[in-house]
Amino acid sequence: MVSAIAVDPSLSFEIGRASNQHGAVVEEIQGLIKVYKDGHVERPQIVPYVSPTLPPESGVTTRDVIVDPFANVWARFYVPKPNRNQKLPLVVYFHGGGFCVGSAAWSCYHEFLAKLAANAGCLIVSVNYRLAPENRLPAAYEDGVKCVMWLKQEALKGSSEWWSKQCDLCSVFLAGDSAGANIAHNVATRLGSDNPYPLILKGTILIQPFFGGETRTDSEKNTVQSPRSALSLPASDTYWRLALPCGTNRDHAWCNPLGKGSAITAETRLLPTLVCISEMDILRDRNLEFCVALGKAGKKVEHVVYKGVGHAFQVISKSQISQTRTNQMITHVKSFIYR
């Protein structure tokens, strides 16, 4: 059985010995993940895991809830105080990490989503889905659909009044960043126009969606990796090798939504979409091409390009420009969900 372990420098001897017993390292993204020949996986704990607590002045209540105990899928709720009797839109959010790393409990996501909930005025459900390579795609998509269906059942039962009482069930959005945006898009396509009553899906919010393809784009070839961006081309390729079904390549429909046999057409059932793009991201051109394809297919799509920032700036960077762009993004998201 494969497992994820946190790497402590004081345990270097033990880890080195464990590494030998698992054979050679066959895939690695330095500091993030190692996969050994026998399938054993190590994920250094580079980001702190935090509990669902926030200071009272944040005005946001948080709580973790089990969605599927058998698959160990859970979600973290962010419920801001509503204004008077106003009910709030519901955003189902999927974290990034190339499908292979990340957690709804990572401090960077906890801080960002608490800020988004408070400032955009929305209730957020952050899904902790299964990771690859232990659970290759479509496991993450299945977990996303499962979470939406769980929310539906909870709303129907009325057993979760602590969140559903404040929630506008007729205004639900699927959202995420990077791999999480890919998940949001694919969950939306799987659900199609069949709204899971009483939840009414109104749109998708895709932040730097993680797409790929065998043919390189200009931004993949020419974007210089910098501290402002969390994704390099080699890391991107490794994530896809670990996440896609064995024997497939980056032109698989789950990676390349514009590839042969997976092109978006007028018949493709998609929700209105907001795409948030970073100027210094290797994914910039793919994100722009995706928006053009949606528009040509007659889909409702709008996009914003954030200047001077790279991939995942909203969760990894504390620079002044990143904070400014993050605030702009939150304003755009608020405008989209309240339109």
Residues marked active site are found at 178
Put the strands of the sheet holding 33-36 in their side by side order.
25-29, 33-36, 41-42
The answer to whether the Cα torsion of 48, 54, 59, 60 is positive or negative is: positive
- Strands (DSSP E) contained in the chain are 25-29, 33-36, 41-42, 60-68, 73-80, 88-94, 123-128, 167-177, 201-207, 273-278, 301-306
Q: Which of 210, 208, 238 is nearest to 317 (CA)?
A: 208
User: What DSSP letter does each residue of 280-301 carry, written as one string?
Assistant: T-TTHHHHHHHHHHHHHTT--E
Name the pairing type of β-strands 60-68 and 73-80.
antiparallel
The set of residues, in sequence order, having a beta carbon less than 8 Å from that of 31 and lying 6+ positions away, is 44, 46
Q: How far apart are CA 140 and CA 142, in angstroms?
A: 5
User: What are the beta bridge partners of residue 172?
Assistant: 90, 201
The amino acid present at 245, given as its one-letter code, is P
203: helix, strand or coil:
strand
Q: Which of 147, 146, 145, 164 is nearest to 155 (CA)?
A: 164
CB-based contact 46:32 (threshold 8 Å) = yes
The set of residues, in sequence order, having a beta carbon less than 8 Å from that of 210 and lying 6+ positions away, is 96, 98, 99, 178, 179, 181, 182, 231, 236, 239, 283
Q: What letter would DSSP give residue 338?
A: T
CB-based contact 109:315 (threshold 8 Å) = yes
The set of residues, in sequence order, having a beta carbon less than 8 Å from that of 201 and lying 6+ positions away, is 172, 173, 174, 188, 191, 195, 271
